[in-house]
A and B are shown apart, each in its own frame.
Chain A
Amino acid sequence: MSTIRFVTGDGLPAFLTFLARNGRRVLVPVEKPAVKSSTVFETWSEGKPFSLQKATVPAKSAVLPQCETLIRYKKSKNPDNPSEVSLNLDDTPEATPTVVFACRPCDARGYAVLDRPFLHGPYADPYYRARREALTVITLTCSKGCDTCFCHWTGGGPSSPEGSDVLMTAVDDGYVLQAITTAGKELLNASSLPDGAERFPLAEEARKRAWASLAPAPDLKDVPQKVASRFSDMPFWLHWTERCLSCGACTYFCPTCYCFTITDEGEAMSARGGRRLRSWDNCMSALFTREASGHNPRLSKAQRMRNRVSHKYATYPENWGTFSCSGCGRCIGNCPVGLDIREIVLACVRHSSDIAQETQER
């Protein structure tokens, strides 16, 4: 039997205080009021208001920050012999022990998607690893679906445990916390929260209700092959990307997108030095693949969107056996022109006999 605890709504701040002990960084969703308000993850501190809404921006930056320092470089001279110059490189990762609190199952599954290339590929990424190992994920299960959500298409669901250490489910009088991993178990055991086993059936009921609220998912089992077979159908991609603006709203708000760039900022080799930064990059930008010669293998937005959809639904599955999409729907909701990746994937799935007809129609 896994470890189950219970916390009342009023008890959450005290639980957060416990989580924040020993210098741990606790990231909580915080609502940013505006005409269009948004919810972002921020470091919690005593008394800070937090939200349990699904965040506008996923908690991806807990493991892959928008911008981080890979290397600090500087030049130093031997004081006794000024002509002797040496190069100092510091590559210490910035990794604070962190708890992500109240992300959603789609966010947590994002970590599982990122883990594969960053930890299990040909090279392990030391910066990612340092932060991932210091990360504990407490996920709030969703009480219902939403028109842009499609987690259950991609192998997840409103209470999917993948990527989470603790699953938290709202019940009438509070939240049931269920340890999923050993780390989650240790965390809950160290807390002073009361046992929640007797309320667990209520949580299970709530989770079932959430599942029942979802519209049935289409059959996506041959999607990788079908998306791959569409690759050379340029009219298809031109048609589906006609309104795309080539901005980064779909990728930067995605819990599974991980393209990045590396740039040097600050002074070139000097005593003050500079930093080599890694920052999010966006495969929808024309610059992303533009070579110094001017050649660009993905010159048009159709080619770029093709790469994005293919990566998520064909080539990542080819390499790792699962989609690189957790179905959070942020790319749909945030797209300024309402581009819907589900439509593109479903269009790929449609039987090949439709292709000729569709092309003709266009």
Chain B
Amino acid sequence: MSVLEGKELRIVGFLCNWCSYGGADTAGVARATQPTDLRIIRVPCSGRVDPLFVVRALLNGADGVLVSGCHPRDCHYSSGNFYARRRLEILKQFLPVLGIDDRRFEYTWVSAAEGQRWQHVVTTFTERLHNLGPAPQLEDAAPLLKVADMVLTALRPLGTGQNTALDELKAAIVKKLPELECVIGWQQGRDAAHHVPLFIRTPDDVNKLTWGPFNVNNPAVYLPTFKGKKVGIVVKGCDARSVVELLQEHLINREDVTIFSLPCEGTLDMARVDQTLGRYTNLDKVEYDEAGVTITADGTAHRFCMADFAQGKCYGCSTPSAVLADERFGTPVQVTPGEITPPELALLDAMSLEERLSFWHGQMERCLRCYACRNACPLCVCRDYCVSDSRDPHWMTQEDTPREKLFFQAIHALHLAGRCTGCGECQRACPVGIPILALRQQIARAVGQLFHGYAAGMNPEEVPPLLGYEVVEENIQERDWK
């Protein structure tokens, strides 16, 4: 057998204690000849296999990873493998965006009696990996820097929202404020071209409330910290989806939150705006028109047309009006049905696997692990108890290698699988401009394809797909190991 010749590869197998481990044993007892590349780790159930086990193994030098559990309906714990199936299928579709060949990871079902099937699975998988050869390593990939193309057409008109019903909204907030701890919105920051979150506690504060393309922050990030208190929130369409997702996960209570909404006409990509403005000592004025803003700094005027300078997420946005709101003002924005691949993801899509590995090497090198991405994420709700900071379990080391940094991004992305609403705060918060949103977008796309177009944060009643399962999954094809 060809796979028995030559150098062994490093293949890690996570085998369920009840079925597949027994199956491997059966194969051994039957003296079935098998390649010896596989190192087996016994786990209680395939449901115990955190997709991060697989990513960790692959990033740390494994050439392949195999997960095997009981056949569907045969799980010792009745449903562990159903959950595993969804997670592992998502993982399989996630790996390529990191630059890892998804053929290096496989999951399957082998029962304790199926010694022969086990022999077949191991042999086939090992043979496949020998054909692929040793896995390319992130550290060895020459750093590659490529920039996403931001020339995009939006599904809906982009504007500056200056004709919206802001005064009505303010009046509504003043009216409701006595019942609320505070209302979260936006205010002017260090100058008129930079807006920051605002916590409205007094009627006077309401005057500070701003609306327009500089309102980039997602105020939903603060909601869980107010859990149990009555609080109001002003939302853009994307922010509303974060609020809905928090409701879906019972991280906030519906009756505690009052949602105020205005239709969003898009927000500016402040990274590109700041870059164009360059260093200035004095911001003279900001003027709005229907289609864009003109910022005059140090006497020089710069015009930013919304169609050119919106955030990447805004072009493909199909929910400019809040999907859920208690107090709604303004005329809804019309959306043309259609689909746009977000620019960051399109950039990755256009690359080969090798290029993607190089790309992430080049990008992650400058990550400082400040975790602004994590802390700006409205759905990163573990807050002060993140696994990335934990010594037990010791998921991450303190080493400042691209591998550790990319692994953290994989943790964040996978913990957000089926939960990320694509608000893009992680990427916007990144001080060194790493396009990490692409990783979340890839998972969101896979989730949509696998689960009937599911999108996170659209309906407070819906169960996030990775918190549930179907006995028969329509879109997950069992591999036949022929």
Contacts and interface: CB of A to CB of B under 8 A. Distances in A.
Q: State if A and B touch, Cβ cutoff 8 Å.
A: yes
B166 interface: no
Interface string A145-161: 11110000000000000
Contact of A242 (B199, B202, B280, B281): B199
Given A243-B196, A247-B375, A277-B398, A56 B431 contact: yes
A54 interface: yes
Given A35-B312, A362-B201, A147 B283 contact: yes
A334 B454 CA distance: 34
Contact of B150 (A35, A249, A333, A334): A35
Interface stretch (B59-67, B187-195, B348-356, B441-449): B187-195
Interface in A244-268: 245-249, 251-253, 261, 263, 265
A249 B429 contact: yes
B428 A336 contact: yes
B375 A246 contact: yes
Contacts of A261: 398
Contacts of B280: 146-147
Nearest to A67: B400
B368 interface: yes
Which residue of A33, A40, A248, A336 has the most chain B CB atoms within 10 A of its CB atom? A336
Interface size class on chain B is 35 or more
A289 B312 CA distance: 38
A37 B391 CA distance: 33
A80 B191 CA distance: 74
A32 to B, nearest CB: 6
B430 A36 contact: yes
A215 B195 CA distance: 22
Contacts, number: 159
Interface string B376-390: 100000011000010
Contact of B372 (A54, A145, A248): A248
Interface in B352-372: 362-363, 366, 368-372
Given A146-B279, A146-B280, A277 B371 contact: no
Given A146-B280, A336-B372, A33 B147 contact: yes
A252 B369 contact: yes
A84 interface: no
A36 B433 contact: yes
Contact of A34 (B282, B376, B434): B434
B196 A337 contact: yes
Contact of B370 (A37, A282, A339): A282
A285 B280 CA distance: 32
A51 to B, nearest CB: 13
A361 interface: yes
Nearest to A56: B432
Given A67-B398, A277-B399, A280-B368, 18 more contacts: A34-B363, A38-B366, A38-B431, A38-B432, A38-B433, A147-B282, A242-B197, A243-B222, A245-B376, A247-B429, A249-B370, A249-B372, A263-B398, A265-B397, A277-B397, A282-B370, A285-B389, A290-B384
Interface of A: 32-38, 40, 54, 56-57, 65-67, 144-148, 213-215, 242-243, 245-249, 251-253, 261, 263, 265, 277, 279-280, 282, 285-287, 290, 332-334, 336-340, 361-362
15 contacts: A32-B432, A35-B343, A36-B272, A38-B366, A146-B279, A147-B281, A215-B281, A243-B197, A251-B370, A252-B369, A263-B391, A265-B399, A337-B217, A338-B189, A362-B201
